[in-house]
Structure 1
């Protein structure tokens, strides 16, 4: 089987309020105001597909939030999103590979984050056979092509894959292609799924 894991809030806990907290302090803008303005719209999607640069993304987002930040200040906040690894998921990924299963990561992400998290969490890359990252692939979840590209690259059918993600839209898109998909609503879902399967 091919096991496909999302990164954020599946393997690594993330929290965008931490990002906004840093920007609030640096830009001297009330946190509640930033929270009311913050949305993951077209700018996010273009950045995750690699269609715009980190600098353009930062400028666009600062304009949307109406906050004056230098690029280094923006980056300092942006990397604050990462809270920490879920070690029980790393353990499951490692055990699956020891049993001869194929384990990959499929993440909507961007170059800024990929300059940061691999050095902070080396165990994540070590637990996966391959990383599929939206900014390298030119497509992002929940676009069907991203799942189709992974299946084709791995040489498996949809029926031979299991997908874990915290975003319901991504789950529904994968299910529509015939991929067994598990909606990760909290840290107990993945260990729960494998409790009887990895006995």
Structure 2
């Protein structure tokens, strides 16, 4: 069986409010107005596909949100999204591999974040057979081609696969291809799913 795990709020807790809070502190722009002006628009998607450099992305977002930040300040706030590892999920990934299953990570992310989390959480690389990142592949969830790429690379059919993600659109994208998806609503979802499936 192939098990595909998303990264944010599946393996690692993330909180975007922490990013906006850091930017607010650094810029003195009120948090409420940042929450109002931030949207995951086209620049966000392009950045996750690797089509936009970190600097161009920072510039686009600062312009969109009227944020008077240097690139260094923007980057510092951007990394504040990471809260901490979910060790119970890491343990499950290890057990799945011990039982002969294939375990991979599939994440919509960006180069700026990958300068941070692999070093901060080396346990992730240690628990996965392979890590697929949107900015390396030039495609992002829920685009059908990213799921097809992983299935083809891993040599599994959709019905031999299980996909865990905290985003309902990403789950729907996978299920349109016949990949059974499990929507991760909180920290209990993954442990509860495997409670009776892992001996």
The TM-score normalised by the length of structure 2 is: 0.99
Deviation at 1:180, TM superposition (A): 1.0
**Secondary structure of 2:3's aligned partner:** strand
Q: 1:167 maps to which residue?
A: 167
Identify the residue that residue 118 of structure 2 maps to in structure 1.
Answer: 118
**What's 1:73 paired with?**
73
Partner residue, 1:4:
4
Unaligned runs of 5+ in 2: none
1:158 and 1:190 mapped to 2: Cα distance?
19
Who is 1:185 aligned against? 185
Alignment of 1:119-158 (within 5 A): 119-158=119-158
- 1:57 aligned residue: 57
Structure 1 unaligned spans of 5+: none
Q: Distance in 1 between matches of 2:43 and 2:185?
A: 26
Secondary structure of the corresponding residue to residue 106 of structure 2: strand
Normalised by the length of structure 1, the TM-score is: 0.99
* Partner SS, residue 52 of structure 1: coil
1:12-65 C-alpha deviation (Å, 9 max, x unpaired) = 000010000110010010001101111111111000000010000000000111
Structure 1 SS opposite 2:139:
coil
Pairwise CA RMSD: 0.5
Aligned pairs, how many?
Answer: 199
